[in-house]
Amino acid sequence: MDISVVVPLYNEEESLPELASWISKVMDENNFSYEVIFVDDGSNDRSWQVVEEIHQANGNFKGIKFRRNYGKSAGLYCGFAKAQGNVVITMDADLQDSPDEIPELYRMITEENYDLVSGWKKKRHDPFFSKNLPSKFYNWTARRMSGIKLHDFNCGLKAYRKQVVKSIEVYGEMHRYIPVLAKWAGFKRIGEKVVRHQERKYGNTKFGIERFIRGPLDLLSVIFISKFGKRPMHVFGLLGTLMFFVGIASALWLGGQKLYYTWHNIALQRVTQSAYFYLSLTAMIIGTQLFLAGFLGEMISRSSAERNSYQIETETEK
């Protein structure tokens, strides 16, 4: 099979028939063998009934329905698990992503040998302060922290080589940072394509203000796990050691100062009356706690069933 299209959706009953017709038209014009997997994230409108009607009319369209709302990452995870196409395309169900981009995305994966191609909505039809401005800030932050030079990490329109979606685990709000997960898994050929962004035709956006909090926290999580997931002692142990030595050095300086002043009969307040004494004591306690956190993390990591789980691309015949 050439292409699997994974479409997470939530309360998009109006747009689904038009989207299905549009995708089918593009696939038939290009003679692609394909499947479309709609993942209904616990919709409370007629979205699932519409998916069933589309499936009955065209067997290339399939559906997965959640009992409740889990979020876009869960929808992508389950869609990726079911996908069988050599190239997997993801897109939103609100008609703001154009299926006309699919042939070129497919070509970039199959002919230019990209592992992942991310869409770039260079011209967006979204409110500036509520969506465009925060998106620019998050994308700038993600570029700086991940080293991946993409303009639009959060664009729902992406293309993947099949091996990529079978090698990564998407959870939380990680759908925003799938390129980072792919790079961590060893897929470094990551490209970008300017795509057309259309105004929303039906309904309203399903993303609320909480995305401004969850997004940066998940970015920190994925960066930390990708770098230190299997060696937590390297970060906690280092920080703990530095903090402890700052504290012990401060305590020694206070003690040396006290001895010097006593030896020369110079009046000086007691060590315990100095704020530096408590700061040095706090630094030593925090340093010890950080070191112990790294030690415990290392023990948990070494006992994990995935401690020696590595992505092997190929190997010679026996």
Q: How far apart are CA 54 and CA 94, in angstroms?
A: 16
> Under a CB-based contact definition with an 8 Å cutoff, are residues 124 and 40 in contact?
no
CATH topology of domain 3-228: Spore Coat Polysaccharide Biosynthesis Protein SpsA; Chain A (3.90.550)
Among 211, 197, 100, residue whose Cα is nearest residue 152: 197
Q: What integer pLDDT is reported at residue 147 of this predicted model?
A: 83
Task: Count Cβ atoms within 10 A of the Cβ of residue 21 and give its class: 0-12 exposed, 13-18 middle, 19 or more buried.
Answer: middle
Question: Dihedral of CA 181/185/190/196: which sign?
Answer: negative
Q: What integer pLDDT is reported at residue 317 of this predicted model?
A: 54
Q: What integer pLDDT is reported at residue 310 of this predicted model?
A: 47
**Mean pLDDT, contiguous 10-residue spans, the chain (318 residues):** 96 95 97 97 94 96 94 93 97 94 97 96 65 72 82 92 93 82 90 88 62 65 67 82 92 88 82 85 93 82 58 52
Specify the pTM.
0.74
> Under a CB-based contact definition with an 8 Å cutoff, are residues 36 and 46 in contact?
no
Residue with the two structure tokens 């369209």: 61
